[in-house]
A and B are shown apart, each in its own frame.
Chain A
Amino acid sequence: MSAITSPIQPRAKKGFWGRREARIAYLFLSPALIYFFLFFALPILADLGMTFFAGVGPLGGGAFNGLDNYARLLTDRVFHQSLLTTFWFMLGAGGSCIVFGLALALLLNRKLRLRIAFRAIIFFPYMTSMVIIALVWSVIYDKQLGILNYLLSLVGIPPVGWLNDPDLALLAIIIVTVWWNTGYNMVLFLAGLQAIPGEFYDAAKVDGAGAIAVFRNITLPLLAPTTFFVLIMTIINMSETFIQPYVMTVGGPANATNLASYYIYNVAFTHLNLGYASAIAFAMFAIVFAITGVLFRWWQTELEY
Chain B
Amino acid sequence: MANQWCSRSLSRRAFLRDLTAAAGVAAALPLVAACAQTPAQPAATQAPAAAKPSGNLNVLWNSAHKYTALDELVASFEKEFNAKVQFEYMQPPEIRTKFLATAAAGTPSDFVEEDFMTQEMAKMGYVEPLTKYLERDGKAIGYPDDFQATAVERQMLDGVHYGFQMFYTNLCLYYNKDMFQAAGIAKPPTTWQEFLDAAQKLTKRTGTTTDVWGYVEHYQQRFGWMWYFQNGAKWYDAKSKKVLTDSPEAIEALQFQQDMIWKQKVAAEPKVETGSNNPPDLFKAGKVAMITSGPWDIKPIKGANVSFKWGIATPAKGKVQATTSYGMGLLIPAKSKNKDLAWEFMKKLVSLEWQLKVTKEADMVMPRKSWASHADVQGNEWIKPFAEAAAYAADYNAGIRLTGKGEVYTTLWQETFDNIIFNKMTPKDALTKYTQQANELLSK
Could you list which residues of chain A lie within 8 angstroms of chain B, going by C-beta atoms? 8, 11-12, 14, 18-19, 22, 26, 33, 37, 41-42, 45-46, 49, 55-61, 64, 78, 138, 142-145, 153, 158, 161, 163-166, 169, 246-255, 266-267, 269-274
A290 to chain B, nearest CB (A): 23
Contact A252–B34 (Cβ < 8 Å): no
Task: Please name all residues of chain B whose beta carbon is closer than 8 Å to the beta carbon of A37 when the two chains form the complex.
Answer: 19, 23
Indicate if B52 sits at the interface (CB-CB under 8 A). Answer: no
CB pair A18 B422 closer than 8 Å: no
Given A14-B7, A46-B31, A273-B406, the answer on whether A60 and B422 have CB atoms closer than 8 Å is no
Bound form: Cα–Cα A221–B414 in Å = 49
Other than the given A45-B23, A49-B31, A270-B410, 4 more pairs (CB < 8 A) read A18-B11, A42-B23, A60-B39, A270-B406
One of B3, B26, B220 near A42 (C-beta < 8 A): B26
Interface contact B100-A56, CB-CB below 8 Å: yes
With the chains together, A150 CA to B1 CA distance in Å?
65
19 contacts across the A-B interface (CB closer than 8 A): A8-B1, A14-B10, A18-B11, A19-B11, A22-B8, A37-B23, A42-B23, A42-B27, A56-B100, A61-B124, A143-B271, A161-B422, A252-B418, A255-B418, A266-B410, A269-B96, A269-B97, A271-B407, A272-B100
A11-B7, A270-B406, A273-B406 known; A61+B273 contact, CB < 8 A: no
Binds A, one of B184-192, B280-288, B348-356: B280-288
B70 within 8 A of partner (CB):
no
CB-CB under 8 A from B31, the residues of chain A are 46, 49, 58
**Chain B residue at minimal CB-CB distance from A267:** B407
| Chain A hits for B3, CB < 8 A | 11
Q: Mark B215-245, 1 if CB is under 8 A from A, else 0.
A: 0000110000000000000000000000000
Give Cα distance in the complex from A255 to B422, angstroms: 12
Of the candidates A42, A61, A166, the one whose C-beta lies within 8 Å of that of B422 is: A166
* Chain B residues closer than 8 Å to A166, beta-carbon distance: 418, 422-423
Contact across chains for B40 and A59 when beta carbons are under 8 A apart: yes
B269 touches A161 (CB 8 A): yes
CA–CA, A49 to B26, complex, Å?
A: 12
B24 is an interface residue with CB less than 8 A from chain A = yes
Q: Are B100 and A58 in contact (CB under 8 A)?
A: no
Who on chain B is nearest to A172 by CB? Answer: B272
Tell me if B15 and A26 are in contact (CB < 8 A): yes
Task: Check if B274 sits within 8 Å of A247, measured CB to CB.
Answer: yes
The residues in B between 281 and 321 inclusive whose CB is less than 8 angstroms from any CB of A are 281-282, 285, 287
B209 nearest CB across to chain A (Å): 7
A81, chain B: closest CB distance, angstroms:
10
B23 & A164 in contact (Cβ 8 Å cutoff): no
With known contacts A166-B418, A270-B411, A138–B24 Cβ distance under 8 A: no
- Bound Cα distance from A251 to B273, whole angstroms: 10
Neighbouring B residues of A46 by C-beta, 8 Å: 27, 30-31
Contact A144 B7 (CB under 8 A): no
Is B443 interfacial (CB-CB < 8 Å)? no
**Which of B93, B404, B415 is A55 in contact with, Cβ under 8 Å?**
B404
Per-residue contact bits, chain B 180-199, to A (CB 8 Å; 1 contact, 0 not): 00000000000000000000
A269 CA / B219 CA spacing, docked (Å): 20
Knowing A59-B34, A61-B124, A270-B411 touch, does A11 contact B4 (C-beta < 8 A)? yes
Given known pairs A26-B15, A158-B208, A164-B422, the reply for A59 and B271 (CB within 8 Å) is no
Q: Does B405 contact A (CB under 8 A)?
A: yes
Query: Contact: B419 with A254, CB < 8 Å?
Result: yes
Q: A60-B126, A78-B411 are in contact. Are A254 and B285 (CB under 8 A)?
A: no
